[in-house]
Structure 1
Amino acid sequence: MKDFTVFVSSSDNYSDIWDLFFDLFHKYWPEYKGPIYLQTQEKEYTHPDLNIICTKVGKMKYFGQTFRAGLDKIPNENVLLIMIDYIFMGKVNHDLLIKLYDFFIKENLDSLCLRKQPFKNFAPSKNPLLIIGLPPSHKIMFGYQIAFWKKEMLHEMAPPHENPWMSEWYGSERAEKMNLHIECLANDKDAPIIYDMRGCLHQGKWLDNAIRFIKQTNYNIDFSKRGEYIDSQGYRSLQYRFRIKWTIWKTGLMGSYWDLMFKRKKIHQ
């Protein structure tokens, strides 16, 4: 079996939640003994119970540049991608996780998402726990949920000029055009890693679900430093709606439209 490496996508701006993330990581997944590559710009971080390697890629203008530079630091061909705000919320089913990874390798998949995805088109998998994502899938073929990835394919999903949301927006069509082999869980009750798919932060502020969970664990965090996210002031605000439309258009002109029109070709028949 080819080994995988855990890649935690973060930035120095999130260093205040690294202790929380990795304390919960170790608490709920003590079986994992391998390296964890933590995406950082300049900061160094260690944890007494984990083998953390900071990428220290330097300050770059865009997420895509930073993300690719971090992936380039990883020697393994396969990664388990985890975004920094997907804190673990329960015991990891280690045995199931390894069985799913074995299937990922055996079937030569490009990605295996460890949560159910709302694919519009799908087919049964050889594994009864999974389904195969089929295009067209209308903006949901790709996302940054916790998943096993071939590193080279994940690299392709983040062009240098894109931010995470634009990588998902344009990435779904990229995945369709490339005909990536993507499978995901058929039912979230079988998820080997328990986490909230919304994450714990929106626009840098704490989500109510994360606040409730962290308080239940008696973990000591000063939530006032980041503040609590409020929908009416965030993604549902009129200002944000205008801004996201402008970002989609601008990102397209910076290269995402041309990338889809001229670069992306099928890699599988």
Structure 2
Amino acid sequence: MNISMLFSSCDKYDDAWVPFFTQLKRFWPEFDMPVYMSIESKTFQFEGFDIRCPLADGPVYKQWSERLLKLLEHIDTEYVLFTLDDFWLTAPVNNGIFERIYSYMENDKRMGFVCLKQEIIKGKSSARDIAASVDCEYPELWRCLKNKSFRITTQFGLWKRSYLIKILRTHESAWYFETRATWRSKFCWERVYDVKETVITYPIGGFLWGGQCYEDYKDLFDSELIKPCVEKRGFIHFGDHRDYPPTPKGFYYYFSIFRSILPKW
């Protein structure tokens, strides 16, 4: 297959890498693609995987989107499987469906992105998002209309590499990418899809939040596997109050929005 994995992380989250690849090896035995690490300066290897860290010897790119774009320059496959570092698998991957979705993308060049985790759930999703997710020629997928919220997401997803490059902006954080790229995607030729049933299973939102570990998820994993993470970061619980730093609404903030809405040449 003409796919590479794009593993998005950073050096300070190196304690998440062994759990990620341990679970990936356990629950996706058919996995056979190179893995490109979006990290600043470290290197990493794990038995059974072809892991590449091409940014380790060059300049340090601190901004999340800029680092992804620099890494994508080193990837020559037509498609990339995107993931964040704390999406630790908890069930076998449906490899047959994954390969089928890949074949759809190979044959339909308008398919830009397929989110591989179920997004539309009756009783939980908004009426607007349910209405904006429509049946299409691919029975496993919803096609996301332009008014669906978070139609662009950092969940496990299969991307056309050229589309991901098109929709990224060097100055954006992961959060701004999801919100602002959702808006930009409305003006793109490529289409966006969600799976009707999850293909790659992991805890909602990932194991980490705000630099801490979700205690609510700890029983999903071997205690020794997550021990380094827990000892380094401690626990947080669903519903715990967190004080978020205020977003400064000065010149840089509004200039950032302006840069986000500009076309990409």
Q: TM-score range by the shorter chain?
A: 0.7 to 0.9
Q: CA contact under 8 A between 2:115 and 2:153: conserved in structure 1?
A: no
Letter in 2 for 1:206: C
- Corresponding residue for residue 27 of structure 1: 26
Q: Distance in 2 between matches of 1:250 and 1:25?
A: 43
1:166 is paired with a residue whose SS is helix
Q: Which of 211, 217, 224 is equivalent to 1:204?
A: 211
Q: If each structure's helix is expressed as a fraction of its own residues, which one has the higher value?
A: 1
Runs ≥4 residues deviating over 6 A: 248-251
Q: What aligned pairs does 1:28-67 form with structure 2 within 5 A after superposition?
A: 28-56=27-55, 58-67=59-68
Aligned identity (percent) is 20
- Corresponding residue for residue 3 of structure 2: 4
- Corresponding residue for residue 263 of structure 2: 263
Q: Which of 174, 177, 180 is equivalent to 1:167?
A: 177
Letter in 2 for 1:94: N
Q: CA contact under 8 A between 1:166 and 1:248: conserved in structure 2?
A: no
Q: Distance in 2 between matches of 1:250 and 1:228?
A: 36
2:172 is paired with a residue whose SS is coil
Unaligned 5+ runs, structure 2? 121-128
The structural deviation recorded for 1:258 is 4.4
- Corresponding residue for residue 157 of structure 2: 147
Q: How many residues align?
A: 251
The structural deviation recorded for 1:60 is 2.0
TM-score by length of 1: 0.85
Q: What aligned pairs does 1:1-269 form with structure 2 within 5 A after superposition?
A: 3-56=2-55, 58-108=59-109, 109-118=111-120, 119=129, 120-137=131-148, 139-186=149-196, 188=197, 191-215=198-222, 219=225, 221-222=227-228, 223-230=230-237, 231-234=239-242, 237=243, 240=244, 243=246, 246=247, 252-260=253-261, 262-263=262-263
Instruction: Calculate the aligned-residue CA RMSD, in Å.
Output: 2.3
Letter in 2 for 1:263: P
**Which string of whole-angstrom CA distances, capped at 9 and with x for unpartnered residues, describes residues 4-40 of structure 1?**
1111111111111211111111111111122111222
The structural deviation recorded for 1:195 is 1.1
TM-score by length of 2: 0.86
Q: CA contact under 8 A between 2:117 and 2:201: conserved in structure 1?
A: no
Q: Distance in 2 between matches of 1:140 and 1:164?
A: 12
Q: Distance in 1 between matches of 2:226 and 2:214?
A: 16
Q: CA contact under 8 A between 2:6 and 2:82: conserved in structure 1?
A: yes
1:25 is paired with a residue whose SS is helix
Q: CA contact under 8 A between 1:124 and 1:130: conserved in structure 2?
A: yes
Unaligned 5+ runs, structure 1? none
Q: CA contact under 8 A between 2:166 and 2:264: conserved in structure 1?
A: no
Of 154-163 and 117-126, more deviation after overlay is shown by 117-126
